[in-house]
């Protein structure tokens, strides 16, 4: 499926894992695709990596204002970019924290063109908060949600269901060939991939591995502000833990291929879907809804966040049956090959654009 016009798409920042998706979406836009993104804050430690080869990238100047729950961002250059790219449709991040978005909406409206929002969903709330979010979202001609849960949150605020589209969040392409793993022999390997920050709960994973009577091999791939604390903790309770450091793209492949179980005990992390593309079963904490779509009873374990006892029980269960681990890994592979990948995500975006174009 193609979108027959020119598309513009705005992002606050451009993480490396999004570049393949934006190029795939750009290939489906017959008029081309303009992409706008600014720089992250230093403390976010977002890897930016390679630049798009098909999408036409313009850099905005991000002004990061306030911190924590009050954080907002003003993106300078948004209107100038729209004037230069002259799109038929615009996709904005559907987040009221981005202060320049209303000006882009006005610019497109004045020309009778469509604007879609793309986001995780909407926070729960009542009274003013609910009314504020409802008014903000109803400016859009359509909404694209990362997950089914996000789509339900938009609908709960009164946004028309027929204008809500789900594009399952993906960082890996459809696999080109099946992956067959040999039967598990000896010590199993648990793999974590992600930024090392407190919300990832890697400390819980260290304590759980240390508590097992037959500890697994634990590889921790990533870097971040919590690394020094985690390494100090590991030295005290689980010195066998391996801190690999940051790896990206093809550098990650050897770690996915030699692992037996992927674990993400905290929030966030599209590495889940990438791990599944390597035929790995996954053990993750519930988060923004992306995990709900990816993790099912026959390919992994979905646990409550910040529940170390549940994490321990799930790890014990996972490692108790090596044949089942391999079978669940094959189901992970099937989900990525057939249902949730960059190509199906781009197809959903294209479908949403064409549906709102009429």
Residues 162 and 299 in one domain: no
Residues 118 and 201 in one domain: no
Q: Please, which residues have CB within 8 angstroms of residue 278's CB and are 6 or more apart in sequence?
A: 179, 253, 256, 257, 259, 333
Query: For the domain that residue 129 is a member of, what is the CATH number?
Result: 3.40.50.2000
Q: Judge contact between 241 and 207, C-beta under 8 A.
A: no
Domain total of the chain: 2
Is residue 77 domain-resident? yes
Residues 160 and 204 in one domain: no
DSSP helix/strand/coil, 114: strand
pLDDT tens profile 65-74: 998 888 999 9
**What is residue 215's DSSP assignment?**
P
Is residue 161 domain-resident? yes
Is residue 275 domain-resident? yes
pLDDT of res. 185:
83
Is residue 2 domain-resident? no
Tokens 């905005």 appear where?
60
Residues 298 and 199 in one domain: yes
pLDDT tens profile 90-116: 999 999 999 999 999 999 999 999 999
Per-residue pLDDT of the chain (358 residues; tens, 9 = 90+): 899 999 999 999 998 889 999 999 999 999 999 999 999 988 777 777 789 999 999 999 999 999 888 899 999 999 999 999 999 999 999 999 999 999 999 999 999 999 999 999 998 877 888 899 999 999 999 999 999 999 999 999 999 999 999 999 999 999 988 888 888 888 999 999 998 999 899 999 999 999 999 999 999 999 989 999 999 999 999 999 999 999 988 899 999 999 999 999 987 767 899 999 999 999 999 876 778 889 999 999 999 988 999 999 999 999 999 999 999 999 999 999 999 999 999 999 999 999 998 6
Is residue 177 domain-resident? no
**What residue numbers bound the domain in which 293 lies?**
189-338
């Amino acid at each position: 499926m193609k979108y027959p016009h020119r598309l513009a798409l705005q992002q606050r920042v451009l993480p490396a894992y999004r570049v393949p998706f934006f190029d795939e979406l750009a290939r489906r836009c017959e008029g081309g695709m303009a992409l706008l993104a600014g720089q992250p804050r230093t403390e976010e430690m977002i890897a930016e990596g390679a630049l798009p080869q098909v999408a036409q990238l313009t850099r905005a100047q991000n002004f990061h204002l306030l911190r924590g729950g009050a954080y907002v961002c003003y993106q300078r250059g948004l209107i100038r970019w729209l004037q230069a790219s002259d799109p038929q449709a615009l996709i904005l991040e559907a987040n009221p924290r981005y202060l320049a978005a209303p000006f882009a909406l006005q610019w497109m409206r004045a020309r009778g063109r469509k604007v879609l929002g793309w986001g995780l969903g909407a926070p729960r709330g009542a009274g003013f908060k609910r009314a504020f979010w409802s008014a903000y979202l109803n400016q859009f001609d359509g909404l694209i949600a990362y997950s089914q849960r996000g789509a339900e949150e938009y609908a709960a605020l009164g946004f028309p269901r027929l204008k809500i589209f789900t594009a399952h969040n993906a960082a890996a392409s459809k696999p080109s060939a099946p992956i067959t793993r040999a039967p598990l022999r000896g010590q199993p390997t648990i793999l974590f991939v992600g930024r090392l920050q407190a919300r990832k709960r890697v400390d819980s994973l260290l304590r759980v591995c240390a508590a097992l009577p037959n500890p697994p091999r634990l590889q921790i791939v990533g870097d971040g502000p919590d690394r020094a604390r985690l390494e100090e903790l590991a030295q005290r309770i689980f010195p066998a833990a391996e801190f690999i450091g940051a790896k990206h793209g093809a550098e990650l492949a050897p770690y996915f291929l030699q692992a037996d179980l992927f674990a993400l005990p905290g929030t966030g992390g599209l590495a889940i879907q990438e791990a599944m593309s390597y035929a790995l079963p996954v053990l993750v904490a519930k988060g923004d809804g992306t995990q709900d779509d990816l993790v099912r009873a026959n390919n992994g374990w979905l646990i409550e966040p910040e529940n170390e006892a549940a994490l321990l029980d799930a790890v014990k269960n996972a490692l108790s049956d090596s044949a089942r681990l391999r079978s669940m890994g094959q189901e992970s592979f099937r989900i990525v090959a057939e249902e949730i990948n960059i190509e199906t995500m781009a197809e959903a975006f294209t479908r949403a654009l064409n549906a709102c174009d009429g």
